[in-house]
């Protein structure tokens, strides 16, 4: 079972490990695209990057970090990403045996495993990044089919990525999760504000499970054992009821 998480826009700063080594990252089939994006992103002047990345002057430091991708320190990906989902996941308290199930989707790296060492960067799934050829391809166009091909190798993928990152590498048989809350009258509504928090909680439950799920039904069983209410609406679609 592979649990694929969305990345966070914000990243932890610093790191205690050496510079990026693409050869050490999981999913080596992605390295050619990684190298191309790294080259284009790090070459982008800071002032231009603010517009390309859609960020304000207050986040100039994020654009500057992109120019140091090859030389800046790294840390495990699961600690580089921050925010509500990763707070709920609480990776620091997970046993080492739980980490191999966790993968993060990334516009820059495609996919990274929890323990892959990566630098701080800023790049979103919806960005159109100028290339050295003068073209400005979408991230979806840059990644093509390679992310999908890597994910298709897995027996079961629980895809918790947001829409923009699912577009970078769709997996037809992946199990996707929708989060809904129950209104006082019994009707349902899609959870938006706390969506990431609940998905982080689910990811933690699945990562910790001694059971190796191979189907959506088994994911529901694991969630139920942890006190979560899940419904299977199709062989590849689950609803987490909160």
Could you read off the pLDDT of 64-103 as tens digits, one per residue?
A: 999 999 999 999 999 999 999 999 999 999 999 999 999 9
Could you read off the pLDDT of 28-46 as tens digits, one per residue?
A: 999 999 999 999 999 999 9
Residue with more model confidence, 108 or 184: 108
Q: What's the full length of the chain, in residues? A: 242
Question: Given this model, what pLDDT does residue 182 score?
Answer: 86
Outline where DSSP puts E strands in 87-201: 102-106, 110-113, 117-118, 157-159, 175-182, 188-190
| Structural domain total, the chain | 1
Question: Given this model, what pLDDT does residue 184 score?
Answer: 85
What's the rounded Cα separation, in Å, for the pair 21 and 13?
18
Q: What is the pTM of this model?
A: 0.94
Q: Which domain holds residue 117?
A: 2-241
What's the rounded Cα separation, in Å, for the pair 79 and 86?
8
Res 189 pLDDT > 90: no
């Amino acid at each position: 079972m592979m649990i694929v998480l969305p990345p966070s826009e914000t990243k932890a700063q610093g790191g205690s490990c050496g510079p990026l080594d693409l050869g050490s990252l999981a999913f080596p089939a992605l390295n050619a695209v990684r190298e191309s994006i790294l080259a284009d992103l790090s070459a982008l002047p800071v002032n231009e990057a603010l517009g390309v990345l859609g960020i304000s002057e207050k986040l100039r430091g994020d654009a500057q970090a992109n120019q140091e991708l090859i030389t800046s320190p790294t840390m495990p990906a699961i600690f580089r990403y921050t925010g509500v989902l990763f707070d709920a996941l609480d990776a620091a308290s997970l046993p080492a045996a739980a980490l191999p199930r966790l993968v993060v989707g990334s516009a820059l790296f495609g996919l990274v495993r929890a323990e892959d060492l990566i630098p701080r960067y800023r790049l979103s799934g919806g960005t159109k990044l100028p290339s050295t050829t003068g073209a400005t391809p979408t991230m979806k166009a840059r990644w093509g089919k390679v992310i999908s091909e890597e994910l298709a190798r897995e027996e079961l993928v629980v895809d918790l990525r947001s829409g923009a990152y699912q577009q970078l590498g769709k997996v037809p048989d992946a199990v996707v999760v929708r989060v809904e809350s129950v209104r006082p009258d019994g009707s349902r509504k899609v959870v938006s504000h706390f969506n990431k928090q609940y998905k982080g909680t689910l990811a933690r439950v699945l990562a910790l499970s001694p059971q190796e799920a191979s189907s959506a039904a088994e994911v529901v069983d694991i969630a139920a054992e942890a006190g979560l209410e899940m419904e299977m609406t199709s062989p590849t679609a689950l609803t987490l009821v909160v």
